[in-house]
Amino acid sequence: MSDAIQQFGLAPDAASVAIAWLQALKSERRLAAKTLEAYAHDIAQFGSFMVEHLGAAPDVNALADLTASDFRSFMAKRRSQGLESRSLARQMSAIRSFFRHAERSGDFKCAALGVVRAPKISHSVPRPLPEASARRVAAADVFEHDEPWVKARDAAVLTLLYACGLRISEALSLTVKQAQSNPLVVLGKGGKTRIVPVVSVAQDAIATYLKLCPLALAIHEPLFRGVKGGALSPRIIQLLMERMRGALNLPDSATPHALRHSFASHLLGNGADLRVIQDLLGHASLSSTQIYTEVNRTHLLEQYRKAFSR
Question: Which residue in 100, 127, 189, 245 is the catalytic one?
Answer: 189
Q: At 255, give phi and psi (nearest 5°).
A: -115, 170
Q: Which of 304, 301, 296 is nearest to 262 (CA)?
A: 296
Q: How many CB atoms lie within 10 A of CB 147?
A: 11
Q: What is the DSSP letter of 175?
A: B
Is 283 catalytic? The answer is yes
Question: Which residue in 292, 299, 305, 306 is the catalytic one?
Answer: 292
Question: Which residue in 26, 77, 109, 257 is the catalytic one?
Answer: 257
Is 123 catalytic? The answer is no
Is 220 catalytic? The answer is no
Q: Which of 193, 164, 178 is nearest to 224 (CA)?
A: 178
Q: Which of 37, 42, 28, 29 is nearest to 90 (CA)?
A: 42
Question: Which residue in 78, 194, 260, 299 is the catalytic one?
Answer: 260
CA distance to 151, 160, 191, 287, per residue, from 197 (Å): 23, 11, 19, 23
- Beta bridge mates, 196: 184
d(CA 236, CA 231): 11
Through-space distance between the first and last CA atoms of the chain, rounded to whole angstroms:
66
d(CA 14, CA 61): 9
Question: Which residue in 151, 167, 266, 299 is the catalytic one?
Answer: 167
Is 86 catalytic? The answer is no
Q: With the CA atoms of 30, 32, 38 and 43 taken in that order, what torsion angle do they form, in degrees rounded to the nearest 10?
A: 20
Question: Which residue pairs, CB below 8 angstroms and at least 24 apart, start in 299-308?
Answer: 299/268, 299/269, 299/271
Is 257 catalytic? The answer is yes
Question: Which residue in 151, 194, 283, 299 is the catalytic one?
Answer: 283
CA distance to 140, 155, 184, 240, per residue, from 146 (Å): 10, 12, 29, 11
- List, by residue number, the catalytic residues: 167, 189, 257, 260, 283, 292
